[in-house]
Amino acid sequence: MKPIDPPKTYRVKSFGCQMNVYDGERMAELLATRGITPAADGEDADLVVLNTCHIREKAAEKVYSDIGRLTKGKTQKKAPMIAVAGCVAQAEGEEIMARAPAVSMVVGPQAYHRLPEMLDKAVQGERITDTDMPAIAKFDSLPQRRRSAPGAFLTVQEGCDKFCTYCVVPYTRGAEISRPYRDLIIEAQKLVEAGAREITLLGQNVNAWSGEDVKGAAIGLAALIRDLAKVDGLRRIRYTTSHPNDMDDALIAAHGEVEKLMPYLHLPVQSGSNRVLKAMNRSHTAESYLKLLERFREVRPDIALSGDFIVGFPGETEAEFEETLSLVDAVKYSAAYSFKYSPRPGTPAATMEGQIAAEVMDERLQRLQSALNRDQLAFNQASIGKTCDVLVERRGKFDGQWLGKSPWLQSVWFEGDVEIGDLARVTLAEAGPNSIRGELLQPALA
Ligand code: 5AD
Ligand code: SF4
């Protein structure tokens, strides 16, 4: 095999969930330890990492078309060295190596800490696949955090043992594991030193996180959040994504007591029909889910609720879909994500009878999304007149404009004299479906 010039610049393209964004940042930090720098916007990169997502739709085809565009000079003038990472790499690594000779490295989500050594081999002309799943080892081998945006992600838990019948995550990310308490406190401190003001704790089942505190006592996510709230300079904490069955009293109570914990909860439900939920192996009912949300609203009446939905799960009838619409009406989400069911190879639902026709799924998705959009706009309209802190994340489209997030995770834009990373005091003035116009108060900073 022909040696390849060692890459000097890289680009990491992350698709899918926030966990992938976190992994993408960590891969970038690893490449930086080898002196490889990010390619400037619009410039060719010597190494492109495609950090892929396998959760829905033609994920693998997308990877092959991205590889084709990179090698045929459509995305860049010069073809780069290519690494495929993420969940498609985990699920289909061998096929990718066989089908795409332009790929030098295939690296799974639990193995990317070995990227630098893989790179050493790749420049010798070797092609390397690493889709091992060593429990948690990767985090110990990652460099310390040195730079952070005001809003940072911190993976605290990975993997899933729930085996919802439609989902690939238990296969691509492996079993549930929690990172140790001490490591997380240290990483949070480093992120804050590096510029973070808000940290979003990530995990496929983040509320299943468990660990031991410094005294060796068994603790859950609520206690971790309470201790993170003591980190100086950290102003806001969020967490995502939770499973209804892993919710405990302590986490609900924390929402009423920990000031830095933002009034927002993302709690996927997937369907409003108990028959469908059972077939999905969700192990909660529409009623138990609604009861749980009520408890959050009791301790934090202004909490913004968000969720995930799948329409067109095999066998879903019109009446069962309408139960989902009724659940939406009952909850009044501030924002939510909805998807057409997509059969994932190797999952039980992919071979179930009663697969739903594409047109039916399209029509159901449209109806669901119009209900969710209606509620999102209503939630935004109900916020008008409130004064809150907005974490300034970036400049807006026009001069003097800034964009940031309200405590309820709404996108807010406003004009005035602030800087990125400020918590600006803003009155919410005008609601759109996807964002809110705010007016900066004086004094401007919280
Ligand atoms: N088809 C459609 N949506 C899916 N999700 C997970 N697997 C599938 C699938 N096979 C959705 C669920 C989950 C979100 C991350 O993606 O709603 O909560
Ligand atoms: Fe997938 Fe269900 Fe696990 Fe979520 S809880 S990652 S939907 S298997």
Q: Once rounded to an integer, what is the mean pLDDT over residues 90-99?
A: 93
> For ligand 1, what atom is nearest to the CA of residue 342?
1
**Does any ligand 2 atom lie closer than 6 A to the CB of residue 349?**
no
Query: How many angstroms is it from 300 CA to the middle of ligand 2?
Result: 26
pLDDT at 404: 98
pLDDT in tens, 409-435: 999 999 999 999 999 999 999 999 899
Confidence class for position 1, pLDDT limits 50, 70, 90: low
Whether the link from the prior residue into 240 is cis, omega within 30° of 0, is no
Confidence class for position 74, pLDDT limits 50, 70, 90: confident
Confidence class for position 198, pLDDT limits 50, 70, 90: very high
pLDDT > 90? residue 385: yes
The full set of domains in the chain, from first to last, is: 9-137 (3.40.50.12160), 144-262 (3.30.750.210), 264-382 (3.30.750.200), 387-445 (2.40.50.140)
How far apart are alpha carbons 67 and 50 in whole angstroms? 9
**Does any ligand 1 atom lie closer than 6 A to the CB of residue 205?**
no
How far apart are alpha carbons 193 and 185 in whole angstroms? 12
Residue 46: CB atoms within 10 A of its CB come to: 19
pLDDT at 295: 98
pLDDT > 70? residue 43: yes
**Does any ligand 1 atom lie closer than 6 A to the CB of residue 341?**
yes
Q: Which residue has a Cα nearest atom 2 of ligand 2?
A: 164
The token pair that represents 344 in the structure block: 């994932």
pLDDT > 90? residue 143: no
pLDDT in tens, 144-159: 888 889 999 999 999 9
Confidence class for position 142, pLDDT limits 50, 70, 90: confident
Q: Once rounded to an integer, what is the mean pLDDT over residues 375-396?
A: 97
pLDDT at 141: 83
Quick check: 440 and 426 in contact, CB under 8 A?
A: yes
> For ligand 1, what atom is nearest to the CA of residue 168?
7
**Does any ligand 2 atom lie closer than 6 A to the CB of residue 170?**
yes
pLDDT at 135: 66
Mutation pick for ligand 2 pocket among 19, 160, 241, 281 (CB with most ligand atoms within 8 Å): 160
Pairwise pLDDT comparison (446 vs 203), residue with the higher score: 203
Quick check: 116 and 34 in contact, CB under 8 A?
A: yes
Query: Strands across the sheet with 151-155, in order?
Result: 151-155, 198-202, 236-240
pLDDT at 136: 64
pLDDT in tens, 162-178: 999 999 999 988 999 99
Q: Once rounded to an integer, what is the mean pLDDT over residues 18-43?
A: 93
pLDDT in tens, 429-440: 999 989 999 999
**Does any ligand 1 atom lie closer than 6 A to the CB of residue 56?**
yes
Q: Once rounded to an integer, what is the mean pLDDT over residues 371-377?
A: 98
Query: How many angstroms is it from 279 CA to the middle of ligand 2?
Result: 14
Distances (CA, A) of 437 to 378, 381, 430: 15, 11, 5
pLDDT at 209: 98
**Does any ligand 2 atom lie closer than 6 A to the CB of residue 163?**
yes
> For ligand 2, what atom is nearest to the CA of residue 241?
4
Mutation pick for ligand 2 pocket among 167, 241, 267, 284 (CB with most ligand atoms within 8 Å): 167
pLDDT in tens, 279-338: 999 999 999 999 999 999 999 999 999 999 999 999 999 999 999 999 999 999 999 999
How far apart are alpha carbons 160 and 268 in whole angstroms? 14
Beta-carbon contacts of 5 under 8 Å, excluding residues fewer than 6 positions away, are 46, 123
Quick check: 261 and 206 in contact, CB under 8 A?
A: no
Mean pLDDT in the chain?
Answer: 94
**Does any ligand 1 atom lie closer than 6 A to the CB of residue 310?**
yes
How far apart are alpha carbons 110 and 131 in whole angstroms? 7
pLDDT at 83: 97
pLDDT > 90? residue 187: yes
Quick check: 309 and 368 in contact, CB under 8 A?
A: yes
Residue 73: CB atoms within 10 A of its CB come to: 11
Residue 263: CB atoms within 10 A of its CB come to: 20
Confidence class for position 2, pLDDT limits 50, 70, 90: confident
Quick check: 194 and 146 in contact, CB under 8 A?
A: yes
> For ligand 2, what atom is nearest to the CA of residue 282?
2
pLDDT at 303: 98
pLDDT at 315: 98
Which DSSP category does 301 fall into? T
Q: What pTM, to 2 d.p., does this model score?
A: 0.93
